[in-house]
Amino acid sequence: MSVLKGRPLLLIEDNDFDAGLLVECLRSVGVTNEIHRCADGAAIEKYLAQAKTLNLSQQPVFVFLDLNLPGAEGLKVLERLKAEPSFAAVPVVVLTTSARPNDVDQAYRSGAAGFITKPIDLDKFESMVRQVTNYWFSAVKLPENVTRTKP
């Protein structure tokens, strides 16, 4: 499926393997959108700066955010993202290797749209991706973010 007129997805993940795996799984369930990737805090800053100058069709419509990022606390990045006007309405689904109860609560409070623990087992991982895409890219409508505040 092509989500929302082919607008890109943003993946914030430091682990190359995990990133590659996620992309592959998305492709294998039929997601054809462009997938942007940021691997660390610095990359995020650069991306956000540059995103302001892009036109709407290039703005990400969905974000996968790994909480266990080096050098930048995942929750802080979430807050940072959500503070950005262009991402205020964009769903951010948080991924993590192990779920601290406190993190789960805090993530939702900070504006996460979902919280997923990454299974280590490949088959289970694939099944998780399928469930996510079934829900987010098929069952629900994603925001179009047509109005945005002036940069």
Binding site for other proteins (CB under 8 A): 15, 17-18, 21, 68, 97-98, 100-101, 118, 120-123, 125
Cβ distance to other proteins smaller for residue 61 or 132? 132
Q: Which residues contact 12 (CB under 8 A, 6 or more apart)?
A: 37, 38, 39, 44, 63, 64, 65, 66, 69, 77
Rounded to the nearest whole angstrom, what is the least distance from the CB of residue 120 to other proteins in the complex? 5
> What secondary structure, in 3-state letters, does 81-130 show?
HHHCHHHCCCCEEEEECCCCHHHHHHHHHCCCCEEEECCCCHHHHHHHHH
For 131: left if phi > 0, alpha if psi spans -120 to 50, otherwise beta; the answer is alpha
Looking at beta carbons only, is 61 or 65 nearer to other proteins?
Answer: 65
Token duo for residue 101: 């109860």
Q: How far is the CB of 121 from other proteins (least distance, A)?
A: 6
Would you say 97 or 134 has its CB closer to other proteins?
Answer: 97
CB of 28 to other proteins, least distance (A): 11
For other proteins, which is the closer residue by CB, 21 or 142?
A: 21
| Cβ(107)–Cβ(135) below 8 Å | no
- Residue (85 or 119) nearer to other proteins, CB: 119
Q: How is residue 112 written in tokens?
A: 């996460």
**Shortest Å, Cβ 2 to other proteins:** 26
CB of 111 to other proteins, least distance (A): 22
